[in-house]
Structure 1
């Protein structure tokens, strides 16, 4: 009986101990238990919090929104304090929002700290300047100079100019003073939504103008201590080019010095399409190879002496030698942010090796990210930072997974099976990296390599274990004049690498292209990827939800029907065959590539004249575009000649969209959008989808980022040309009736007013901004 009673009491006690769902208290308990199980991973979210704050500052256009974000982050930190710092949930809610607060404040301060005057309009100046950097671009047959003008109030403190390679002098070295005449323009903004936005990069690099040298450049004063030749980086690139010709020599130079200017465009495009472009940018792979080879050589050479092996810490000495080589390699290759990030990671790994710790972990990546973001917070929005850190994070996350560890664990098996296991692990890692990097590549470049994982199985070992060691040996033996055999071997290996790149790039469906995807879809995919990589428990699988949601959103992004560049000169129209046609058929390769990439189109662009239904003269084109049951008439100018107002006025009234690179008078009243110089100055380039009548613009109305309205240097007064009479209507009553019509009085109004007035005409949903 006692046993029965005891058993009943025990059962009752267990029922009392079983947790029951009681609302918020149980939610907090579940979260607390989960965070306790993930306690080793919580520190990894510190750089993510910092990045969230930085990304929020870039994504939110207005100063009031930045302040609101700071207040919101403060509120969440306060909520964490109310929960209690003695709990992991409370500490997480304190620290993560505080990191986001710090990130937003840090990038805001950095943007204001680097403020420098920027040109407001193109100018032609004769001036003297000090050379800051010299970047040869042999593939373009030009040289790029970063200059500081001396005593010229009309120019920004720092400008960047290009000159023809044939006009470059031997004395063009950092520190030299030169005299030149150049045409200089403001740093260009993104031509269309989603295109490369140089104006933001130029702001943080304090570049106030870019241009081209006109005529000859004269060296007024040679560079101190460098009058007899170029810098080490240029001399090394020239030496490698003298040993290996063509694309092989250019890629060898890129691997050694980071100088990609000599790579032929065909080879560079093949490397991009095959997913091997990361090999050309000096980063973790190259630095690891250099440091690892140094450590191996130093350790093996010192271990040849039993006395040293027994009495000296050879591992510590080898690690120190590797650190010195890594530092020197970083300085040699220009100290770019990816290389600095890789150097920081390498130094942390070397410290871990010296201390006998497992150094290659996600905490190492987190520390490296924190350091880079603390000193260069603007690097977060660049593809280089995103690609390098996401790749390393994916590799380590896959390698730390229990199944991956079991796969690569050493076994007592035949060499063929061991080799197959290594190749399988490389394939799995490559696939993981390709999947992780695909959203970044599609967001920034609108394309991603499909066969990159397969190409990298061959290319990465070939580069790391064959090409770079052979190149290093050839350079060392060149000191004694014995490097020729190794240069030949390196050349053969580089030829194989280029063959792999061209073969993969030429394969059917080698590249997946998408039109410009929204920041929301990109953010969902990145957030989900980080969730998958940084947690260890089964909760990590929830990261698949935002990844899939972002992918579906991106894949369903409609291709634009019309792309208009910010200067109004170039326009691409979607054809009935899903291709695109250009307003100006003689547009250069840069414009063609930029419009094709933004539209997610792989193929040749047609001429607008050749489309069915187009009516084009030398000066004006019109075409009717059909979307569903609606017909949209597009009118665009395409020459520098003025069109008589008696012809242009009726054409304007009959058009839905007017595109021109000049200012159009108020009597030009299309039914929907008048994309003239005045509107495009406010919006930048436009991307239009006719199906839902949506418009994306480069600029956001009311944007407070400092590069949108920068300070300007003292400008010379100039005369404005009087308004032309060629746009004046033939009959005064046409102008007066147009001016009196409320639905057509749009030209002098603000951008928001114009859009608001256009809404009832086509039930426009509103402007979307990228």
Structure 2
């Protein structure tokens, strides 16, 4: 006990940093545990731990940490549980065709997909959720569409989509907290019952203005940098930015907020310094910091107040407060305070990659900057321009590599891939964006007031094309990303605990956290990838063969192909199962033989149509198969040797991933999962 207390005394300045970790642990417990009894048990165990901690010797730091941490664990679980109960929107129970009349709450153009995304409140439709999101093709958008308009159309509404396969993106959970209960695509004609009397929002006008001023693929990047709306970015460019490690430039976060606030402070200081009276008598730093804070808050509201922007704005306000008081505010305590504020108001953000990657990256940067050796190397000194430039490049490269390493477990868990060249790409991209592209775009917007912005827009477009060329060049390299199979939740939790241990402590004990991080990442890369992936609707199947991955429906879209490839940890082209030499396919059925890693032969049978198949032939094929997969309900007399996967089973399990050698099966839905966004679909027995 004395050894622990002595160590905590040396780490006393770091102890408070664990407050948001404990709060986040309680929120994570609610997401991980399946139902109300488990959540209640979690809270009871946390309070029991607090009682046990209270029995330790009075005055010890360990006692305070255990009691406070346990209470924060319980509070975090209750906080997100209460918000989900009081403010979430339950999903639509089942898909339905309706003639919908609704009042428009919000309109978001998505030029890259040639559509408009509309948020609606249904009128006189008690069977529908309070809010639905509908896509309307550009050609079908009626005149006068805007906030406050009332429209009518036919639509097939669906519950927000759960992950297609285990480890996939869970839009249903995100939509629940956003208040979206159903989604769909409007069928023409779309009738305008009452046109909008309100004009487009400032953000929408700014978005449209930038898209009109910039041509080609650069227009989407330009609009995203100013407004945070990525709807005009083609998918090919967005994927190139992701693979090259430059996607963070598209999300309004610390880089953009800091650049704006810094520019406002710089301009205010220079303008006020022109007056001798102001320079001598006024508190210039306080005034400039106030102006920068107002600019940061306005920019955050303009760009939609997403989590990274809110975090960056809160952090910037704390920094400005410290500077105004003459103190150094850029510390890990600043990051912890920002995390606490975000978690208190938006606890559901913890489960998303945006929150995790944003705070992990900033924590890594600040922790590295606080290290004495790094600070000694990076501090300004009197030296030649060449040595200074080389040292700055080394500092940028070191910070880039540190961020890439810290983000690796998070990227593996959410996206099944980790960047390898992002640190090098950011050496060029970050200075290009911060010091050239963003100032040019801001200057172009200012000059547009007097109609002289065209030259600056042309320069902005050329520099953005250079940024896109860099992204495509880096992403085309086979070393740009490293794919891995889906990372299990347990391994992710272990890796994150180790990562936090490394980042938040200062003494040598911190390096003990490397073991769980390396273990979690290594086990993910060396894990056996799934041999069979089935989407939740049963229509799309991917099979691993000795020739790579093959897909059942070769006309599947890019989204389905990307989801299946990433979940399988496969970076090649998906071929058609029908083209495999060991496959026998007709219009209705497809049978294929594959080998697992132990060289065992597996016979798989898939249905590919809704046609009625003769019972005698189908029963024979079912009996000869090890696994049968269908997007419809299969009759009871279809009895494969091991597993029958049809829409009845998939309605309970969601998408599946199967490793044939071990017989390991992972599902999207867990048994007994009672989180409020899970809509169980029930099908009639044929």
TM-score greater than 0.5 by the shorter chain? yes
For 1:73 and 1:373, how far apart are their aligned partners in 2?
19
For 2:560 and 2:676, how far apart are their aligned partners in 1?
27
Is the CA contact (8 Å cut-off) linking 1:173 and 1:231 kept in structure 2? Answer: no
Match of 2:134 in 1: 161
RMSD of aligned alpha carbons: 1.6
Match of 2:193 in 1: 220
For 1:31 and 1:454, how far apart are their aligned partners in 2?
41
Residue by residue, what CA displacement relative to the aligned partner does 1:689-733 show, whole Å, maximum 9, x if unpaired? 0111110011111112122258x9xxxxx9x9883xxxxxxxxxx
Is the CA contact (8 Å cut-off) linking 2:89 and 2:177 kept in structure 1? Answer: no
Structure 1 residue 117, shift from structure 2 partner:
4.0
For 1:676 and 1:185, how far apart are their aligned partners in 2?
20
Is the CA contact (8 Å cut-off) linking 2:90 and 2:176 kept in structure 1? Answer: no
User: What does 1:114-193 correspond to in 2, within 5 Å?
Assistant: 114-193=87-166
**Correspondence 1:302 to 2:240:** no
Is the partner of 1:321 in helix, strand or coil? helix
Is the CA contact (8 Å cut-off) linking 2:585 and 2:591 kept in structure 1? Answer: yes
5+ residue gaps, structure 1: 1-27, 713-717, 724-770
Match of 2:31 in 1: 58
For 2:685 and 2:341, how far apart are their aligned partners in 1?
55
**Correspondence 1:597 to 2:566:** yes
Match of 2:593 in 1: 624
Structure 1 residue 125, shift from structure 2 partner:
1.4
Match of 2:311 in 1: 341
Match of 1:757 in 2: none
Closer, same or farther: CA 85–206 of 1 in aligned 2, 3 Å: farther
Is the CA contact (8 Å cut-off) linking 2:90 and 2:677 kept in structure 1? Answer: no
Match of 1:699 in 2: 669
Match of 2:534 in 1: 564
Is the CA contact (8 Å cut-off) linking 1:267 and 1:502 kept in structure 2? Answer: yes
Residue by residue, what CA displacement relative to the aligned partner does 1:26-59 show, whole Å, maximum 9, x if unpaired? xx11110111111110110000001111111111
**Correspondence 1:99 to 2:68:** no
For 2:648 and 2:125, how far apart are their aligned partners in 1?
30
Is the partner of 2:651 in helix, strand or coil? helix
For 1:222 and 1:84, how far apart are their aligned partners in 2?
69
Is the CA contact (8 Å cut-off) linking 1:189 and 1:199 kept in structure 2? Answer: yes
User: What does 1:467-482 correspond to in 2, within 5 Å?
Assistant: 467-482=437-452
Residue by residue, what CA displacement relative to the aligned partner does 1:382-407 show, whole Å, maximum 9, x if unpaired? 01001110010000011110111011
For 2:449 and 2:140, how far apart are their aligned partners in 1?
32
Is the CA contact (8 Å cut-off) linking 2:88 and 2:178 kept in structure 1? Answer: no
2:576 to 594, 607, 629: 607
Match of 1:450 in 2: 420
Q: TM-score, normalised by structure 1?
A: 0.87
Structure 1 residue 121, shift from structure 2 partner:
2.0
For 1:170 and 1:407, how far apart are their aligned partners in 2?
61
For 2:157 and 2:530, how far apart are their aligned partners in 1?
32
User: What does 1:662-673 correspond to in 2, within 5 Å?
Assistant: 662-673=632-643
**Correspondence 1:645 to 2:618:** no
For 1:170 and 1:328, how far apart are their aligned partners in 2?
30
Deviates more, 1:519-528 or 1:394-403: 519-528
For 1:629 and 1:489, how far apart are their aligned partners in 2?
59
**Correspondence 1:432 to 2:405:** no
User: What does 1:657-736 correspond to in 2, within 5 Å?
Assistant: 657-709=627-679, 723=686
Q: TM-score, normalised by structure 2?
A: 0.98
Count of matched residue pairs? 685
Is the CA contact (8 Å cut-off) linking 2:627 and 2:642 kept in structure 1? Answer: yes
Is the partner of 1:246 in helix, strand or coil? coil
Is the CA contact (8 Å cut-off) linking 2:91 and 2:678 kept in structure 1? Answer: no
User: What does 1:425-574 correspond to in 2, within 5 Å?
Assistant: 425-574=395-544
User: What does 1:736-751 correspond to in 2, within 5 Å?
Assistant: none
Is the CA contact (8 Å cut-off) linking 1:84 and 1:91 kept in structure 2? Answer: no
For 1:643 and 1:696, how far apart are their aligned partners in 2?
30
Is the partner of 1:90 in helix, strand or coil? helix
For 1:309 and 1:110, how far apart are their aligned partners in 2?
49
**Correspondence 1:29 to 2:2:** yes
4+ long deviations beyond 6 Å: none
Structure 1 residue 231, shift from structure 2 partner:
1.9
Structure 1 residue 218, shift from structure 2 partner:
2.6
5+ residue gaps, structure 2: none
Structure 1 residue 149, shift from structure 2 partner:
0.4
Closer, same or farther: CA 670–405 of 1 in aligned 2, 3 Å: same
Is the CA contact (8 Å cut-off) linking 2:147 and 2:198 kept in structure 1? Answer: no
Is the CA contact (8 Å cut-off) linking 1:451 and 1:504 kept in structure 2? Answer: yes
The structure having more radius of gyration, on CA atoms, is: 1
